[in-house]
Chain A
Amino acid sequence: MKGSSSCFDTSTEKRASNAVISAGDRFGLLTVRCAVDEETRASRRRFECVCDCGNKVVVRAPSLYGKHTRSCGCLRFAAHAKTHGLSGTKEYDLLHKIKRRCLNSSDPAFQNYGGRGIEVAAEWLGQGGFERFFEHVGKAPSPHHTLDRIDNNRGYEPGNVRWATRAEQSRNTRRTVHIHAFGKTLPMTDWCAEYGLYRNAIRERMGYGWDMPRAIAERLVCAKVRRHRPPMLEACVVLSTSGSICFEHCPEGRSAGYIPDSAVLWEVLWDRREALGGVAHSHPGTGIPAPSHTDLSTFAAVECALGRRLTWWISSSTDTIALVWGGPDRLHYVAEQIHPEPDWVSRLRALSHINPRHENSQGDGTYDPGT
């Protein structure tokens, strides 16, 4: 039968030009309705066709016979709908790269993968391979995760892959040094993280010929001492005219170099203004402390508000100074070293986590912030 139901034939365009197309002939999903012009040359003739989806299209005769046109276009969409729709995703690219480095001997990384026997599971190859791969590994938890082989000597196969960050992966390479000590085996990085140790220190001690447990244990003693000593934090005490502490000020947010502004401290100063002797605060380090510009402007502001002068003490871990306004400039305070130190200094140092030292410096000075 000429022309009818021939859309799946492998006829050439030349043969098609001699063929007769009639209304009702089917080519794929298209059914010919009528010719749209009076063209005599068969290769130029065009036909109006109705697709199974209901769309009407005009198609040249050779396209019908040559299988170039089998639908109004809906077949193309249908074909796309059959795929997983994950092309271009991180997971799709990943499987592509895995296959390349394991199976393609011209890949630069082949020697570290396929070249040393790392294979890709057969079920993750071929038709539907990506779907099965994706079903097993799932979506990457974050853009920073990559696929890690749990056992580095086994291939990419179900049960031997997991999502891991770069840091996690770096602990699971052939070069990772696993250390057995204290009844467990961990990468050196994990030992260092667990005990707050420096990796270079461990390496150095191993260089002495020590075994790993000893290298860790020796460092551990020092690390424990460090861990149990809290860091120095500046603290402040309010002192009455009798020289006793009437308020201890250790606000949240204080650091080794700063005590933040506090409405609470100001309220204490205002409420006790009648019997207020002064305010002391700690500084980090040793030697004779020096007031910062912040300290001096605070002294001046408080005295301005209270309408009277106070004494301001500053203590380091070795020395204590007392500052009083010397004028004439607003921020010109004169310092004098206090020796011996009053009793409350030890309490101030304790609040600051300072270990007291016994060697005091001697001397005094005047502090002028360059006004």
Chain B
Amino acid sequence: MIQEHEAVLQITVNGEQGELPDPVHFDSGDGDIKAWATEAVRAGGIPGITPDPMADFSAYTVDRFPARDGKCNRLSLRPKVPFGG
């Protein structure tokens, strides 16, 4: 059961999407989230995502979706898509 302060972490990598088996704190920092995701993907601990020992989420960003309509908090680790600069 996911608590009010917790969130499901969804990761997208190598054309696959999966969720971290354990919930994480919704207010966790981006750096922590990326580190957990890197460890989990490299170790093959995410159902639906093939283990990738070279996984690197440094160019990713974290979207935060607070609980709505009965759904729990959600965190999404996705690639950043800015251009220019």
Task: Report which A residues bind B (CB closer than 8 A).
Answer: 234, 236, 255, 257-263, 265-266, 269-270, 273, 281, 283, 292, 294-295, 297-298, 300-302, 304-308
Is B81 within 8 A of A234, CB to CB? no
Is A259 within 8 A of B16, CB to CB? no
Given that A298-B79, A300-B59 are contacting pairs, would A283 and B12 also be in contact in the complex, using a CB cutoff of 8 Å? no
Enumerate chain A residues within 8 angstroms of B79, measured Cβ to Cβ.
Answer: 266, 298, 301-302, 304-305
Enumerate chain A residues within 8 angstroms of B61, measured Cβ to Cβ.
Answer: 261
B63 at the interface (CB under 8 A from A): yes
- By Cβ-Cβ distance, the 7 closest A-B pairs, closest first, are A307-B15, A301-B79, A301-B59, A307-B14, A258-B84, A259-B83, A305-B79
Cα-based distance from A262 to B85 in the complex (angstroms): 15
B80 at the interface (CB under 8 A from A): yes
Chain B, residues 63-85, CB within 8 Å of chain A (1/0): the string is 10000000000001011111111
Task: Report which B residues bind A (CB closer than 8 A).
Answer: 12-16, 56, 59-61, 63, 76, 78-85
B16: nearest chain-A partner, CB-CB: A307
Which one of A270, A273, A281, A306 lies within 8 Å of B83 (CB-CB)? A281
A280: nearest chain-B partner, CB-CB: B83
A305: nearest chain-B partner, CB-CB: B79
Cα-based distance from A359 to B76 in the complex (angstroms): 45
Given that A261-B61, A263-B63 are contacting pairs, would A294 and B85 also be in contact in the complex, using a CB cutoff of 8 Å? yes
B76: nearest chain-A partner, CB-CB: A263
Enumerate chain B residues within 8 angstroms of A234, measured Cβ to Cβ.
Answer: 83-84
Is A283 within 8 A of B80, CB to CB? no
Is A292 within 8 A of B85, CB to CB? yes
Given that A301-B59, A304-B14, A305-B12 are contacting pairs, would A266 and B82 also be in contact in the complex, using a CB cutoff of 8 Å? no
Is A236 within 8 A of B83, CB to CB? yes
Cα-based distance from A269 to B80 in the complex (angstroms): 12
With A265-B81, A305-B13 known, 4 other A-B pairs at CB within 8 A are A262-B82, A298-B59, A301-B79, A301-B81
Enumerate chain A residues within 8 angstroms of B16, measured Cβ to Cβ.
Answer: 307
Tell me, rounded to whole Å, the shortest Cβ–Cβ distance linking A311 to chain B.
Answer: 15
Enumerate chain B residues within 8 angstroms of A300, measured Cβ to Cβ.
Answer: 59
Enumerate chain A residues within 8 angstroms of B83, measured Cβ to Cβ.
Answer: 234, 236, 258-259, 281, 292, 294-295, 298
Is B13 within 8 A of A302, CB to CB? no
B50: nearest chain-A partner, CB-CB: A307
Which one of A266, A273, A298 lies within 8 Å of B15 (CB-CB)? A273
With most chain B CB atoms within 10 A of its CB, the pick from A258, A266, A270, A302 is A266
Enumerate chain B residues within 8 angstroms of A263, measured Cβ to Cβ.
Answer: 63, 76, 78
Enumerate chain B residues within 8 angstroms of A269, measured Cβ to Cβ.
Answer: 81
Cα-based distance from A307 to B15 in the complex (angstroms): 4
Tell me, rounded to whole Å, the shortest Cβ–Cβ distance linking B84 to chain A.
Answer: 4
Enumerate chain A residues within 8 angstroms of B76, measured Cβ to Cβ.
Answer: 263
Which one of A261, A305, A308 lies within 8 Å of B82 (CB-CB)? A261
Is A283 within 8 A of B14, CB to CB? no
B84: nearest chain-A partner, CB-CB: A258
B12: nearest chain-A partner, CB-CB: A305
Enumerate chain B residues within 8 angstroms of A259, measured Cβ to Cβ.
Answer: 82-84
With most chain A CB atoms within 10 A of its CB, the pick from B60, B63, B83 is B83
Q: List 18 A-B contacts (CB under 8 A).
A: A236-B83, A255-B84, A257-B84, A257-B85, A258-B84, A259-B82, A266-B81, A281-B83, A292-B84, A294-B82, A294-B83, A294-B85, A297-B80, A298-B59, A301-B81, A302-B81, A304-B13, A305-B14
Enumerate chain B residues within 8 angstroms of A262, measured Cβ to Cβ.
Answer: 81-82
Is B82 within 8 A of A260, CB to CB? yes
